[in-house]
Chains A and B, each alone.
Chain A
Amino acid sequence: MVRFKSRYLLCEVRMSDPPSLQLLDDRSVFTALRNAVSRAHGDYGAGVCGLSFAVKYLNARTGVLFLRCRKSHYRLIWSALPFVSSLESRGQRLPCAVDCLHVGGTIRTCQKFLIRYNARQIQRLLPQCRSEEECVEVRRAVMSCSLKELEEEEEEEDEERGEVSAGQ
């Protein structure tokens, strides 16, 4: 058996006004990228990238974006990323820029890189806090979004749901 090898591009979408990130969806990013590739690399690029090119994950809060493409042609998409200057979403044109942070062979390595990258970003940004309270605030915010707490919340919700269904 031979498997198709892919490259995963970990990118970051940066908006000129950050709240408009919420308007993004997979499809608008996909069409914008495909148009950029076909402009930069023509019919050949569009044809090659039509194979197994997909947006695997998009976080509309942080702007983190996972792209998948064939290993043999990932350079075509990679080189077209800087040419994306705006995304079209719900009838609005949103000026933006797409940065490539990491190129990995699996989603797992990209995820590892993303965790390390975010940890580094926090360390870089913490000294910019103006007062001690801000530091504590940030630390509490980081700790409050740990996976463990989420799981507990989910369990509680499940229990509640269970009770409701039992009541009915």
Chain B
Amino acid sequence: EEPASYERLVLKNASVYHYLRISLVFQDSDKRLSEAQFKQLIISALRDLYGEIGAAFPFDVLKFEENTLKAIIRVLSSGLVKLWSALTLLGSYQNEPCAFRIIQVSPLLLALSGNSRDFE
């Protein structure tokens, strides 16, 4: 019996973590946050949407730029959808309207080093 002429390969994404580059946008752009406040804001968004059990999964703020309010976040792949949806539904910080913009999402941190949309 001759072997099949093709071989089927299934590659599943087995990475443990996903990395997100996000930015926080305020309606009036002169608001300052510290790194701790930023993480607290994300946790409170998670708690609003997914409760105390949902807010208990681990994620890290790897890098936070205070002047541009941009951050890189590492999250377990199983919690990516939860984190993303909680960020999307966040509406205000200390009674000031704000929004999270997800700029890039990748399973590899290196992929966040450049963004083709920023090229001239």
Binding site for B on A (CB under 8 A): 38-45, 79
Residue B50 interfacial (CB < 8 Å): yes
Name B's A-contacting residues (CB within 8 A). 47-55
Contact between A45 and B52, CB atoms less than 8 A apart: no
Add 16 more A-B contacts to A41-B53, A44-B54, A45-B50 (CB < 8 A).
A40-B51, A40-B52, A40-B53, A41-B50, A41-B51, A41-B54, A42-B47, A42-B48, A42-B50, A42-B51, A42-B54, A42-B55, A44-B50, A45-B51, A45-B54, A79-B53
By secondary structure, the B interface counts as helix
28 A-B Cβ contacts within 8 A? A38-B51, A39-B51, A39-B52, A40-B51, A40-B52, A40-B53, A41-B50, A41-B51, A41-B53, A41-B54, A42-B47, A42-B48, A42-B49, A42-B50, A42-B51, A42-B52, A42-B54, A42-B55, A43-B48, A43-B49, A44-B49, A44-B50, A44-B51, A44-B54, A45-B50, A45-B51, A45-B54, A79-B53
Closest Cβ–Cβ distance, residue A124 to chain B (whole Å) = 33
Shortest Cβ gap from A166 to chain B (Å): 62
Distance of A43 from chain B, by nearest CB (Å): 5
Q: Compute how far the CA of A40 lies from the CA of B52 in the bound complex, rounded to whole angstroms.
A: 5
Closest to A47 in B: B49
Distance of B109 from chain A, by nearest CB (Å): 29
Most buried by A among B47, B51, B52: B51
Q: Please, which residues of chain B bring their CB within 8 A of the CB of A41?
A: 50-51, 53-54
Give bound CA distance, A38 to B47, whole Å: 10
A42 to B50 Cα, complex, angstroms: 4
Bound CA–CA A154/B47 (angstroms): 54
How far does the alpha carbon of A45 sit from the alpha carbon of B53 in the complex, in Å? 10
CA A43 to CA B50, docked complex, whole Å = 6
Q: Point out the residues of chain B lying under 8 angstroms from A45, CB to CB.
A: 50-51, 54
